[in-house]
């Protein structure tokens, strides 16, 4: 299934994408795509529906029908740093011995085509295409062998980052990661049964039509089961939590000379089987 949330910001309704590319309304079945709905039993209830009987929503998703973030009421937005060896190299940082964790504030979350706002005082706003993992079955101290049982689905995330805030403003990376609009999420949450191999998904990102990032989840240093198990050692993972798993090379910081967003650009990105995003960048 491809689950989504559609409608005006702050008033999104739950839906799913049918086989013809139309949105079907789920608001008569569930309150939102989030929380208890993401547990295995909640997803099974939706999967058992006859999609053809659900109301079809007017409009084309990501065209004249706005999509919100594909998960409503995200609890924790946990991110993994330097999880691709070639990205660590371009950043001039050693390959980590264990996963690097940081957070995005949930106020950063926006829809997949909503604008990205350059924050006041920014001089180094950057882009990062990432695979998002959405937790469905809660747990703590999860074994790697059981980790994928806790996944509700996968999605595209742009881990927008302000490098000066992140690296030069003292303290942890969080200052440069959680600014408003720095977490475009979606377009849809894709359930695991639709993904043949999560370790072989091609991913890309363009700025104004120029390819900047091109990679694959095949080169993740720490794979999805490792990340889920690792995170669960430090916090319980709840249904509706999101783990953003790192980015391949090609970020603005790694260009020669470095290239950053200043406003007016269009950032487009996608992951095979998970859809695409396209966001206009607004100046500070």
Determine contact, residues 118/237, Cβ cutoff 8 Å: no
Looking up tokens 């109301």 gives 55
pTM: 0.97
Predicted local distance difference test score (pLDDT) of residue 144: 98
Residue 30: which pLDDT band, with cuts at 50, 70 and 90? very high
DSSP structural state of residue 147: G
Predicted local distance difference test score (pLDDT) of residue 80: 97
In 10 A of CB 218, how many CB atoms?
Answer: 11
* Residue range 217-226, pLDDT digits in tens: 999 999 999 9
* Residue range 43-65, pLDDT digits in tens: 999 999 999 999 999 999 999 99
DSSP structural state of residue 218: G
Predicted local distance difference test score (pLDDT) of residue 94: 87
Domains annotated for the chain, with CATH where assigned, are 72-282 (3.90.850.10)
């Amino acid at each position: 299934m491809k689950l989504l949330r559609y409608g005006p910001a702050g008033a999104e309704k739950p839906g799913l994408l049918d086989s013809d590319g139309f949105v079907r309304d789920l608001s008569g079945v569930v309150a939102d795509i989030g929380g208890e709905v993401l547990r295995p039993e909640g997803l099974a209830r939706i999967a058992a529906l006859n999609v053809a009987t659900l109301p079809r929503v007017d409009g084309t998703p990501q065209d004249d029908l706005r999509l919100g973030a594909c998960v409503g009421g995200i609890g924790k937005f946990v991110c993994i740093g330097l999880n691709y060896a070639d990205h660590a190299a371009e950043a001039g940082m050693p390959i980590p011995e264990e996963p690097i964790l940081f957070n995005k504030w949930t106020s950063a979350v926006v829809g997949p085509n909503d604008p990205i706002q350059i924050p006041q005082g920014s001089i180094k706003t950057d882009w990062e295409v990432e695979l998002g993992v959405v937790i469905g079955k809660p747990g703590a101290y999860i074994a790697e062998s059981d980790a994928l049982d806790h996944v509700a689905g996968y999605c595209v995330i742009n881990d927008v980052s302000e490098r000066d805030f992140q690296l030069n403003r003292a303290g942890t990376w969080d200052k440069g990661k959680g600014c408003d609009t720095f977490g475009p999420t979606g377009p849809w949450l894709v359930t695991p049964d639709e993904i043949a191999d999560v370790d072989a998904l091609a991913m890309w990102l363009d700025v104004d039509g120029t390819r900047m990032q091109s990679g694959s989840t095949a080169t993740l240093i720490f794979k999805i089961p490792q990340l889920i198990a690792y995170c669960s050692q430090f916090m319980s993972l709840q249904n509706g939590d999101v783990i953003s798993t790192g980015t391949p090379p090609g970020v603005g910081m790694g260009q020669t000379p470095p290239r950053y967003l200043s406003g007016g650009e269009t950032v487009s990105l996608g992951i095979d089987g998970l859809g695409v995003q396209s966001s206009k960048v607004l100046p500070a």
